Structure 1
Amino acid sequence: MLALAALAGVGLPLGLAPFDFSWLALAGITVLAWLISRPQSAGFSFLLTFCYGLGLYGAGVYWVFVSIHTYGNAPVPLALFMTALFVAFMAFMFALPFFLARRYLFDASAMLWAFPALWLFNELYRSWIFTGFPWLLSGYSQMDTWLVGWAPVAGVFGLGFICALSASALVYLRSPGPWRYLPIAACACLWLLGKPLQTIEWTQPVGSPKQVALVQPNIPQQHKWDLSWRQPTYQRLETLSRDHWDADWLIWPEAALPTLLSDAQPFLAEQAEQAAATRTSLVTGIIADLARRYHNSLVVLGQGSGIYHKQRLVPFGEYVPMQDQLRGLIEFFDLPMSVLHRGPSGQSPLWLADTPVWPAVCYEIVYPDLIAEGSRGANAILTVSNDAWFGASTAPVQHLQMARMRAIETGRPVIRATNDGLTALIDDRGRITAQGERFTQLTLRGQTQPMAGQTPFMITGSLPWWLLSIVWAGAIRLRQVRAQNQA
């Protein structure tokens, strides 16, 4: 049983990019629903869900090893240990809600119909606790199925809930009696309704399409902060931009300039002058040093204005928890960008000429509520990243997939500029209209159409799903208590 649970956990990562076996993700969730609804102790239920988590995160975030070993210079045994520790911790966090529910709320007979609420709560709280790790959410596995029509209404969490509800309905088919077909019929209606939902125009074009040029410099990560590479990096950015100053928007990726904002002023002044002369909006990533605090930032030069400081930082990559105890132990805890500070909430969009654009630096694009809230006052979404940290793993491909989901949830085009791929232009329906090759120096040209209006998910965010998970579980608990009192 434990091996089966671990194998089922592997199904979800295989349902995500680049594999996209959506049916396999649903099958794995169904197996878990069946396993935890069997008569067993709370302790064994914990073991089952923990093993599922091991399969889920072992197959889904193995790329952490690349960051720790290849770019953090940790020896292979230590990198393997740290990766295994991270996987085990995430598996524990996955199993915890199921254990607590089985121990204190539900008996085995109630777990099947509590499963959708528990699954939903599990994905929500893992995206929030300790700043959240909203990776490997089940809704992404349905990006290219009819179910994605629900994304502008319910977001990625809603898609995950429908998957879990369908899993419970499939397991319920094993029950005796004619009523066993009713839940699966209701779920089938939800899936079928996704198709007409895809035809609804939740947002509308505003203004004219913008010509966009995205620079992908492909700077090797091991040389990113090498002083000897500073001038070659400047030259590469200038060379790749030289023939594209006629674009409305020219975008350089996250931390494109390997220096501080204060030190880069002479170079930035030259680029601002060029951008102003061609009426171009130039956006670049840079480390901003303000009042003795360092931020992973975006600045607008030329035709436009604004500066944005990243709000959601990556633990160990951009800041070190318990830094007084950890710094100096191994080189991984002393990475060049691990001294950053969190940007304030309530920041304004960037203005590229007359168009407000909501920025998301790297990891921020994976937070549905952050993007939905920020993009209410914007007509497009700009995300920049440096996925060189993850090498040739599946992480950058999944990162792009999540950016596509943000486009669908908000009805906004997403512009994605990266250091070494995958640079892309995504329309308001989540379709990739232009994409650059990985590990290549290039400038990707295309056009994007700003959009106005709001999708239902932009208005509500994930709050209804928090409430639904609590109310659903509470109703099942109340029904169980009444049944016990009548017995």
Structure 2
Amino acid sequence: MRWQPVGRLLVRFLPPASVGAITLLGFAPYSFWPAVLLSLALLFGFIDVASTPRRAAAVAWAWGFGYFAANIHWIFISLHTYGGMPALFAILAIVGLAAFLALYPAIAAFAARKLAGESRAVLLFAVLPALWLLIEWVRGWLFTGFPWAAVGYSQIPDGPLAGFAPVLGVYGVSGLVALLAGGAIWLLGRRFDLRDKLVVSAAVLLCGAGYGLKQVVWTEPSGKPMKVALLQGAIPQNQKWGIDDLIYNLRTYYHLVKDAKADLIVLPETAFPIFLHEVPKDYLEAVLSYAIAQNAALIAGAPRQDGKSQRYYNGAVLLTDPARPANYKAHLVPFGEYIPIRPVFGWVYDNILQMPLVDFSSGGAVQKPLPVRDQRIAANICYEDVFGEELLPNARQATILLNLSNLAWFDGSVALAQHGQISQARALETGRPMLRATNSGTTALITPDGQYAARLPERVEGTLYATVQGMQGETPYMRWGNSAALILAVLGLVVGLIVRWRSRRG
């Protein structure tokens, strides 16, 4: 008898959690975007039929738990396999993070039911899509932000709503996906009267507008095309930090640079897993000699320490320029690259985790692009390209975007493909080509329309050759950032509340 409450709880929890988990199929590498639309529509159906706002929040929390647990499960690899955290603790950490992130859809569901009252139309077409957009935006900056797996990414690059990314950004696309999901639930089981026909017509027009926007070329060529060589060392994360590992790292990239023939040669994040000033001078001179001999620029990812302040930065350094200009990572990963509230969490690193270089400093929000021939390259490091609006100040100055990553922390998981999809969204939003040089994948050239022009297989050592054309000009998203999407969300809430108020008076 005493197990009956637990059984009832599981019966209520498992269906929405399972529906949330199927969204994994909607993102890269599977990219079956209807899975996300279907899952979100079912969630909205659960919220619609819930007896109270609290029940709606509970079912949305369960859905969110399944959603995030499925889409960020790969964090286990970095915590346990490479971070040294015991497996049980690593699992508990992921469960805790998924449980926390699930609060965001729970809050949206509770607020939507409160604001919509008994009006299904207000709930499904106004407050729920608007609040979904707003809550994803809040998730992108609150507590430093964790915007991974926003539902809008499922549309990138080939979904019917992808064309809205250069206008409204990925959060705007998320709101439109939510609007379609609300329309799908509205139509379920209805007699298909005039209002229903209008809903279908609006959905068709919305998708048609998305397709039409995909045909718009927002930016124009700048300078001459440039041949690039993107190097992928495919070095496992557990072979980067020992003395023998260091020799293997340096030797791998020495041979890759030696054989590369291009205008620009790019090495990934922490290709040199030691401070730049610690790289043997004769080694660095030998590597540079091969680049200089063919008049090639060489950009490498390396930690760099300031001699005066002793602070160190995760940087993309233009080594062939005597001044050694660099773009430093601005948005650092809490617990991965710095220790927040050290008196509270410092013991975790001292006693449980075994992660090197966890006290980086931020390079600042606005930095000058790296000049290469007649192009201007704005580099970002690993995770920070998840924060689309934060890249805009540098993207406006640049003709090419560059991401340097070391995703060997998550080798063999979907994280590599998901991160590539995020870079595709940044290319779409800015109308700029995106170069990706990664240690293990996805190393690629992404065109301004968000498509892969070329890419290397994951976890394979090699060099990707491609020709990139720089672009100038601004997309609407570059001018407005997230402001346009947020204004539309607020207008949706206002219209929904006015409709509800008028219906109650009537």
1:137 aligns with 2:147: no
Give 1:85 deviation, angstroms: 0.9
Question: Among residues 251, 254, 258, which one is paired with 2:269 in the alignment?
Answer: 254
* 2:159 matches 1:149: no
Tell me the alpha carbon deviations over residues 236-286 of structure 1, each in whole angstroms, 9 at most, x when there is no partner: 111111121x31100000011111123237244444454334321100111
Match of 1:199 in 2: 215
Shift of 1:402: 1.1
Instruction: Select which of 26, 30, 33 maps to 2:37.
Output: 26
Specify the code of the residue in structure 1 equivalent to 2:298: L
Supply the distance in 2 between the matched residues of 1:91 and 1:210 (Cα, whole angstroms).
Answer: 44
**Conserved 8 A contact 1:230-1:258:** yes
Aligned counterparts of 1:329 and 1:368: Cα–Cα separation in 2? 31
What does the per-residue CA deviation read over 1:304-335, in whole Å, with 9 as the maximum and x for residues that have no partner?
A: 86211101111211112222232334655451
> In structure 2, what is the Cα distance between the partners aligned to 1:262 and 1:184?
62
Provide the TM-score with structure 1 as the length reference.
Answer: 0.94
Letter in 1 for 2:311: R
Contact kept, 8 Å, 2:155 with 2:161, in 1: the verdict is yes
CA distance in 2, matches of 1:274, 1:353: 18
Percent of residue pairs bearing the same amino acid type: 33
For the pair 1:299 / 2:317, whether they are aligned, the reply is yes
Q: 2:97 aligns with which of 86, 90, 93?
A: 86
Query: Contact between 2:105 and 2:132, CA under 8 Å: does it hold in 1?
Result: no
Tell me the distance in 2 between the aligned counterparts of 1:212 and 1:58: 37
Out of 10, 13, 23, the residue aligned to residue 12 of structure 1 is: 23
For residues 92-148 of structure 1, what are the alpha-carbon distances to aligned partners after superposition, in whole Å with 9 as ceiling and x for unaligned? 233223324434x33242422311101111211111111211111112212213322
Shift, 1:17, TM fit: 0.9
Q: Secondary structure at 1:447's aligned position in 2?
A: strand
Q: How does 1:314-393 map to 2 (within 5 A)?
A: 314-329=333-348, 333-393=353-413
2:316 partner SS: strand
Query: SS state of the match for residue 54, structure 1?
Result: helix
Identify which range, 269-278 or 362-371, moves more after superposition: 269-278
Q: Partners in 2 of 1:408 and 1:59 — Cα distance?
A: 26
CA shift for structure 1 position 56 = 0.5
Q: Which amino acid aligns with 1:328?
A: W
Q: Classify the secondary structure of the residue corresponding to 2:366.
A: coil
2: CA distance, partners of 1:73 / 1:169: 47
Is the contact between residue 162 and residue 187 of structure 1 (CA under 8 Å) also seen in structure 2? no
Stretch moving more, 82-91 or 470-479: 470-479
1:209-247 deviation per Cα after TM superposition (whole angstroms, max 9, x unaligned) = 111111111222112122332222212111111121x31
CA drift of 1:39 comes to 4.9
Q: Which residue of 1 aligns with 2:483?
A: 463
Q: 1:432 aligns with which of 452, 464, 467?
A: 452
Q: Give the corresponding residue for 1:102.
A: 113
Q: How far apart in 1 are the matches of 2:274 and 2:101? A: 34
Contact 1:299–1:308 (CA<8 Å) still a contact in 2?
A: yes
* In 1: Cα distance, 2:398 partner to 2:91 partner: 42
Aligned-pair distance for 1:376?
A: 1.2
Letter in 2 for 1:160: S
Map residues 270-285 of structure 1 onto 2, 5 A cutoff: 270-285=286-301
Give the equivalent residue in structure 2 for 1:112: 124
- Alpha-carbon separation, structure 1, partners of 2:30 and 2:14: 22
SS in 2 for 1:302: coil
Note the C-alpha offset of 1:54: 0.8
Aligned counterpart in structure 2 of residue 453 of structure 1, from 461, 468, 473? 473
- 2:47 counterpart letter in structure 1: I
Partner Cα distance (2:197, 2:176) in 1: 17
Number of aligned residues: 484
- Per the TM alignment, residue 295 of structure 1 is displaced from its structure 2 partner at its CA by 1.0
Change (3 A) 1:302 1:39: closer
Instruction: Provide TM-score, normalisation by structure 2.
Output: 0.91
Q: Residue 75 of structure 1 aligns with which residue?
A: 86
Given that 2:80 and 2:90 are in contact with CA atoms closer than 8 Å, whether structure 1 keeps it comes out as yes
SS of residue matched to 2:277: coil
Quote how far apart the aligned CAs of 1:301 are: 1.8
- Cα deviation, 1:3-35, whole Å, max 9, x if unaligned, reads 332222123221111112211111111111222
Q: C-alpha distance in 1, partners of 2:381/2:407? A: 11
Q: Distance in 2 between matches of 1:149 and 1:97?
A: 26
* CA distance in structure 2 between the aligned counterparts of 1:221 and 1:77, rounded to whole angstroms: 21
Matches of 2:336 and 2:239, distance apart in 1:
16
Closer/same/farther in 2, CA of residues 173 and 61 from structure 1, 3 Å limit: same
Q: Could you tell me which amino acid in structure 2 is paired with residue 317 of structure 1?
A: G
Q: Is the 8 A contact 1:134 1:367 kept in 2?
A: yes
CA distance in 2, matches of 1:39, 1:79: 34
CA distance in 1, matches of 2:244, 2:105: 44
Partners of 2:118 and 2:246 lie apart in 1 by: 61
* Partner secondary structure for residue 164 of structure 1: helix
CA contact 2:258–2:290 (8 Å) conserved in 1 = no
Q: Which residue of 1 aligns with 2:185?
A: 171
Q: Distance in 2 between matches of 1:92 and 1:435?
A: 37
SS of equivalent to 2:338: coil
Whole-angstrom distance in 2 between the partners of 1:299 and 1:332: 32
Structure 1 counterpart of 2:131, one-letter code:
L
CA distance in 2, matches of 1:196, 1:472: 23
8 Å CA contact retained: 1:240, 1:443 = yes
